Structure 1
Amino acid sequence: MGYFNVMKKHLKFLIVLLLGTMLLVACSEDSEDTDGNDESENTTDSNDTETENDAADEGSETDVPNVEVSEEEKVAADEVVLVVNGEEVLGEAYNTSYIDTKSYLAQNGQDTSDLDMLKEQALASLKSQTLLAQDAEAKGIEVTETDIDEAIEQTKSQFETQEEFETALEQLSYTEEKFRSVLRTQLLQQYYIEEEIGEIEVTDAEVEEYYELLQQQMGEEAPALEEVRPQVESQITQSKTQEAFLAEIEQLREEADIEERI
């Protein structure tokens, strides 16, 4: 597989990681595919097959968008953008939230030309992050530097070299310091969910309802329920966990004193 295809896959992994979805298994599968293609370089026929596979990969994958943020979209790093329960939130955090928001929308093929909409969503995300951090601190939930170090090393292990990792960060407009900050937020969210929401129960009725929707979409091609039950239960668990987490954040919002400064 070509260098740029490999880098594109790694960058997509990093984007997903930064958005809070840990897909290490999927990325490991990408690495296995790469190893398999390398082994096939010994014969002409294998090289032809490799070229066809690369072309198929390029056609089937969604290109990672090159997200650019102009100076007009940024604010001064030391400017106060929010005051949340008396805590000042600075422009540096806003700029990171803005980049995350724009990257997420672009990655999902959504329009990023409406700067007012981007600003509104970035601020909303920043409010949630700040409220989460405040409530986590009050409840004794914390992320240590060791936790972040381990997460960074785990992420770096998905890249062939340090240079590839740094290139991926550059394409996301991140320094390694900013990456640490984003990882801290993601880990804090994970720990908060574990402590405050705990295990989610999935009922047989929920599984059957979900499977009926799957059957409606796939028709005769739908696999038997028992073949996909683990995946269905996992999807329902994720959905219910997210719903419960958002409900917690919404409750914090309702009780919070928030002032926007930009």
Structure 2
Amino acid sequence: MLKKQLRVLLGLLVFSLLLVACSEDGEENTAPDESDAPIEETDDTTEDTEREPLDVNVSDEETVDASTVVLVINGEEVNGETYNDTYFNTKRYMMQNNQDVSDIELIKEQTLTTLKSYTLLRQDAGERGIEVTDQDVTDALDETKAQFESNEEYETALTQLAYTEESFKQSLEEQLLQQMYMDQVIETEAVTEEEITEFYGLLEEQLDDTPPLEEVRDQIVTQIEQSKMQQAFLAQIEELNEQAEIEQNI
């Protein structure tokens, strides 16, 4: 049972790497790959073997002095303590997704990109009056805990993913701010029949047994909407980045 609940927790814990993706150029694309294909949900009721806790080791070479000014973004200083925390989170995310973490420079660049993007997001959200309250975080935390049969299982999941409750709450706050920003700021055009038909046609090419369109229409619309929202969000962050004054010191 724990494995299924871990997937729920993972979905809430990790601050979206959309912010990291802001550093990558790419063409607009709402076409599905195999992982996007609508699938029939199954009820996983089998017991799962206990997984080993993530062992996220960060060497002295990978950290900076806590008082070092790593970035200055529109006059706001980002210090080494914040950098080190974000570096740890970035490395943990990569390990959760079985990515190679041997390239320290790559993790560093992803960490800096995330720091720049999130700081710009938070600054713009603040100017627009968008904020996450302590109650918002508490409610999200309670909702997450409710997914587990006991507090012990919840704490076990945190340990397995190398989180403390405080770092988990910080991740929740970041995700909540991103979602509020997307809900209140980002606008996209409605999904068209042409887009639905094109998406379904690509599914037919990729899947051996494609369900009838009407059975998966809602899923297709949701996936196209999410793709459009993500692309519009990335474009917004990129625009903020282009307008910002950023000084990088490492």
Q: TM-score, normalised by structure 2?
A: 0.80
1:9 to 1, 4, 10: 4
Residues of 1 paired with 2:188 and 2:52: CA distance?
34
Q: Determine if the alignment matches structure 1 residue 74 to structure 2 residue 59.
A: no
The corresponding residue for 2:177 is 188
| Native 8 Å contact 1:82 1:88 kept in 2 | yes
The corresponding residue for 1:43 is none
Instruction: Give the number of equivalent residue pairs.
Output: 224
Q: 1:131 to 1:125 in 2, by over 3 A?
A: same
Q: Determine if the alignment matches structure 1 residue 153 to structure 2 residue 142.
A: yes
Residues of 2 paired with 1:82 and 1:97: CA distance?
13
| Native 8 Å contact 1:193 1:245 kept in 2 | yes
Residues of 2 paired with 1:13 and 1:64: CA distance?
18
1:112 to 96, 101, 109: 101
Residues of 2 paired with 1:256 and 1:224: CA distance?
48
SS at match of 2:94: helix
The residue correspondences of 1:1-262 to structure 2 (distance < 5 A) are 6-20=1-15, 33-34=44-45, 53-54=46-47, 66-72=54-60, 73-198=62-187, 200-219=189-208, 221-262=209-250
Residue ranges of structure 1 left out of the alignment (5+ in a row): 1-5, 22-28, 35-52
| Native 8 Å contact 2:137 2:173 kept in 1 | yes
Residues of 1 paired with 2:52 and 2:212: CA distance?
35
| Native 8 Å contact 2:72 2:247 kept in 1 | yes
| Native 8 Å contact 1:84 1:256 kept in 2 | yes
SS at match of 1:82: strand
Relative to its length, the structure with more helix (as a share) is 1
Residue ranges of structure 2 left out of the alignment (5+ in a row): 17-40
| Native 8 Å contact 2:69 2:78 kept in 1 | yes
Identity between Structure 1 and Structure 2 (%) = 52
SS at match of 1:259: strand
Q: 1:126 to 1:233 in 2, by over 3 A?
A: same
**Considering only aligned residues, what root-mean-square deviation do their CA atoms show, in Å?**
2.4
SS at match of 2:98: coil
Shift of 1:64: 7.8
Residues of 2 paired with 1:170 and 1:76: CA distance?
26
Amino acid at match of 1:16: G
Shift of 1:203: 0.5
Residues of 1 paired with 2:239 and 2:182: CA distance?
15
Residues of 2 paired with 1:165 and 1:96: CA distance?
22
Residues of 1 paired with 2:99 and 2:151: CA distance?
31
Shift of 1:67: 4.2
Structure with the bigger RCO (C-alpha within 8 Å, sep 6+) is 2
| Native 8 Å contact 1:12 1:64 kept in 2 | no
SS at match of 2:207: helix
Shift of 1:162: 2.4
Residues of 1 paired with 2:217 and 2:55: CA distance?
38
Residues of 2 paired with 1:176 and 1:228: CA distance?
38
The corresponding residue for 2:31 is none
